[in-house]
Amino acid sequence: MYYFLIEVLKEILDDPMACIIIGKAYHEKQDFKNCEKYLKMADNHSETYFMFRLLYFKKGNYEQAEKYYLLVFEKIRYIEYEVATIQCGKISYYLGKIYFKADRFSLVEKYLKKVVKKKYEVEAIILLSETYEK
């Protein structure tokens, strides 16, 4: 399925959305090298910020992940309020994880306390308690 999609979209690489869709397809295939390659072709498109944050987090490149999570955090203000609330919760949670892995515990606490009562609340509380143990 992805092969056909990728091959068709390669014909219109001048369209940033085509590059983003190809990047997403490679991401689904766990081909992070090609995912990054195609996302960079549409780098100034806001959708790429959402993809880069996941890509770099999964690759363990926490400095780059932090950069894109913070960019998304800034841009999310312009998204519909409820969607923004959910996204801010997710972003805060993953920034907390990034800072936890980097032993930057004051920032772990700052971001995990922002997590809204959604999907990541329990995980945030567990990670926050581990931070207090350090």
Span 29-35, mean pLDDT?
Answer: 89
* pLDDT tens-digit readout, 41-71: 887 777 788 888 888 998 999 999 999 888 8
Domains of the chain: 14-76 (1.25.40.10), 79-134 (no CATH)
For the chain, the DSSP string reads -HHHHHHHHGGGTTSHHHHHHHHHHHHHTT-HHHHHHHHHHTTTSHHHHHHHHHHHHHHT-HHHHHHHHHHHHHHGGGS-HHHHHHHHHHHHHHHHHHHHHTT-HHHHHHHHTT--SSTTHHHHHHHHHHHHH-
Mean pLDDT of 19-48: 84
- The C-alpha atoms of residue 64 and residue 62 are separated, in whole angstroms, by 5
Both structure tokens of 88: 């801010």
Mean pLDDT in residue range 86-109: 87
CA distance 94 to 22: 24
- pTM here is 0.56
* Distance in angstroms (rounded) separating the CA atoms of residues 94 and 54: 9
Give the best-scoring range by mean pLDDT among 6-15, 59-68, 69-78. Answer: 59-68
